[in-house]
Amino acid sequence: MFYYPTRLPQTRFLFLAVAMLLLANTCGLAQRYVTNMHPDSVNVKFADLNATVVFEMRFIQEHMNYIEQFGTTLKEIQTQLQQSNVPLQSPLQISVTEKSNGEKQISIDRKTETARKIIVDQGVPREIGPMIELLINTRIAKVTVTVPNAEAFEQLKSYDFKKITGKLQEDMATQHMGRKRIEAGMVARSGEIEKFEVDYPSAKDFLIGYGSTGLGFVRDKIYVEANLSIATAFADHFNRPRHRFDFTYNNQFFTTATENGYRTDINSFLNLSWGVNLCYTCDRPRWTTLGVGYLVRERGGYYTGNTLKIFATTDIGNRKLNLVPELYLTDDLKKSMLGMKLTYAF
């Protein structure tokens, strides 16, 4: 218990608490998620053709057939270009976008500049001339194809891409993929895979520490609260925040008038909550949580015996402010009380 030596009106105390609530600044340790809807990548360099193909895919293990049939995809695109009287001459950029109905839309950018590029090949800078660049964007994959000329394109479309998937499947059979993504690099020469490297980065989970304060009531009693929390947030395969678990030390400060001024009684709960992100496409996570708290410190007679509280939160349009309804079960869980609070997370 704390005693104030001078009289401080309760309304003024609450006004100062609300002012602190609204003026608090961020001090949490959160990290920003960067979503990638095509997290699996395979970079294949065709050394004897001076060509590269980069596959970026949603779930590569579910769409190996797309890579296996990629030679057919190149032939179909070449046929469409021939029907449109577009010669494969560098410099040229071809963009192919697959619509939701499966129809392909092709756009051509005939570049006139002859600027050369500098690339780094095994740590050695190398200058390359104008290239033919093919950009393919579908629901399951994004592919970038770079070839120096039409002759190289002809040889590339005849390549047996099953050799690429065979290497991938052989190595992936030793892995438990789960939420992992795949990052693979290969060098092909004379129709065979000469070099193969692969990594399986895990999804980026986070441990977050933060504080919060709030203003609430239980029955007819108003309190100010101060909390310290640790949360573990779990991302999915696309690095989108999906679930979180929060462990919180929750302190409620009740103020009571006494003969000598005002007294503050601190009641403390240990809270555990589980949350799910209900909006993957929003600019930030939209968490809805359900939690339970257990009374570990009682002062002032506001609660009696074993006491639990059940609470829920949902996004109200502000990532820091939240309105939290609570149900208290006190007197050894025999009596129930309703409460509500407004919280501000640092």
Mind listing the pLDDT tens digit for each residue in 148-181?
999 999 999 999 999 999 999 999 998 888 899 9
What does the pLDDT read at residue 182? 95
Q: For 258, which DSSP code? A: E
Rounded to two decimals, what is the model's pTM?
0.75
Q: For 284, which DSSP code? A: S
Cα atoms in the Cβ-side hemisphere of radius 13 Å centred on 198 = 19
3 or 126: which carries more pLDDT confidence?
126
pLDDT band at 12 (very low <50, low <70, confident <90, very high): very low
What does the pLDDT read at residue 120? 55
Containing structural domain, residue 123: 40-199
Whole-angstrom Cα distance, residue 163 to residue 69?
11
| Same domain (yes/no): 222, 193 | no
| Same domain (yes/no): 231, 187 | no
Which residue is listed with tokens 């602190």? Answer: 20
Which residue is listed with tokens 């989970």? Answer: 205
| Same domain (yes/no): 272, 287 | yes
| Same domain (yes/no): 46, 190 | yes
CB atoms within 10 A of CB 210: 19
Burial of 330 (0-12, 13-18, 19+ CB in 10 A): buried
Domain count, the chain: 2
Whole-angstrom Cα distance, residue 84 to residue 86?
6
What does the pLDDT read at residue 101? 78
| Same domain (yes/no): 116, 190 | yes
Q: What is the pLDDT of residues 174-188, one digit of tens each?
A: 888 889 999 999 999
| Same domain (yes/no): 95, 212 | no
* Boundary (domain end) residue, out of 173, 199, 225: 199
What does the pLDDT read at residue 21? 43
Whether residue 322 is predicted with pLDDT greater than 80 in this model: the reply is yes
Average pLDDT, the chain: 85
Sequence letter at residue 28: G
What does the pLDDT read at residue 33? 67
Q: What is the pLDDT of residues 92-134, one digit of tens each?
A: 899 999 887 777 888 888 765 544 555 555 565 555 567 899 9
* Boundary (domain end) residue, out of 184, 199, 214: 199
Residues of the chain with pLDDT > 90: what percent? 60
What does the pLDDT read at residue 28? 35
| Same domain (yes/no): 158, 226 | no
Sequence letter at residue 244: R
| Same domain (yes/no): 28, 65 | no
DSSP of 163-178: HHHHHHHHHHTTS--T
Q: At what angle do helices 70-83 and 150-157 cross, to 10 degrees?
A: 140
Whole-angstrom Cα distance, residue 1 to residue 214?
20
- Residues β-bridged to residue 127: 118
Q: What is the pLDDT of residues 15-50, one digit of tens each?
A: 544 444 444 333 333 345 688 899 999 999 999 999
Whether residue 272 is predicted with pLDDT greater than 90 in this model: the reply is yes
* Boundary (domain end) residue, out of 146, 172, 199: 199
CATH number reported for the structural domain that contains residue 318 in this entry: 2.40.160
| Same domain (yes/no): 67, 189 | yes
| Same domain (yes/no): 214, 334 | yes
| Same domain (yes/no): 12, 63 | no
| Same domain (yes/no): 221, 325 | yes
Q: What is the pLDDT of residues 68-91, one digit of tens each?
A: 999 999 999 999 888 888 888 878
Whole-angstrom Cα distance, residue 302 to residue 266?
10
